[in-house]
Amino acid sequence: MAYNILIVDDSASMRKIIRKTLSLSGFQVGACVEAANGKEALEILQQHPVDLVLSDINMPEMNGVEFLWQLRQDPRWKQLPVVMITTETSEEIVKEAIELGARGYLRKPFRPEQIRSCLTEIMGGPDAEDLARNDEGCDF
């Protein structure tokens, strides 16, 4: 099954890296939409239903924790899986995100196998493919 994913990060280059890493990881991705902050992500969710959200924490306008709080207020998205992908080092902030319903978090920088393992654990599905067989490589 291919999953539709929303990537939320204020850095366009980081969104591109996450897309590339998803591709390299072998995780099955369908449509992939992007937002530059939590406010934009909430607007996008109105138009594009997704199966999974990957969100940064530190963003302008509406950070990832505020986004997660807002997301959980709407019954349509109460159970939507969210994974935080962040450089945030404050355990307190990461803990707050988990308490608000984030299913997990990855620290930047991350490797394709880390993202695959995290998302497979959250979304389920077989993890039989060996990443080492992917000859495209990771060039960032």
The answer on pLDDT for 127 being more than 70 is no
Domains of the chain, residue spans: 11-28+37-57+64-89+96-122
Model-level pTM? 0.87
The answer on pLDDT for 133 being more than 50 is no
Longest dimension (CA), the chain: 43
Output the average pLDDT for the chain. 88
The answer on pLDDT for 128 being more than 80 is no
- CATH assignment of 11-28+37-57+64-89+96-122, among 3.40.50.2300, 3.40.190.10, 3.50.50.60, 3.30.1300.10: 3.40.50.2300
Residue 40, CA distances (Å) to 21, 119, 128 in order: 23, 23, 36
Residue 132: which of 113, 117, 116, 110 has the closest Cα?
113
- State CA 128 to chain mean position distance: 22
**pLDDT per residue over 17-61, tens digit each?**
999 999 888 888 999 999 999 999 999 999 999 999 999 999 999
**pLDDT per residue over 55-106, tens digit each?**
999 999 999 999 999 999 999 999 999 999 988 888 899 899 999 999 999 9
Give CA–CA dist 101/63, Å, rounded: 15
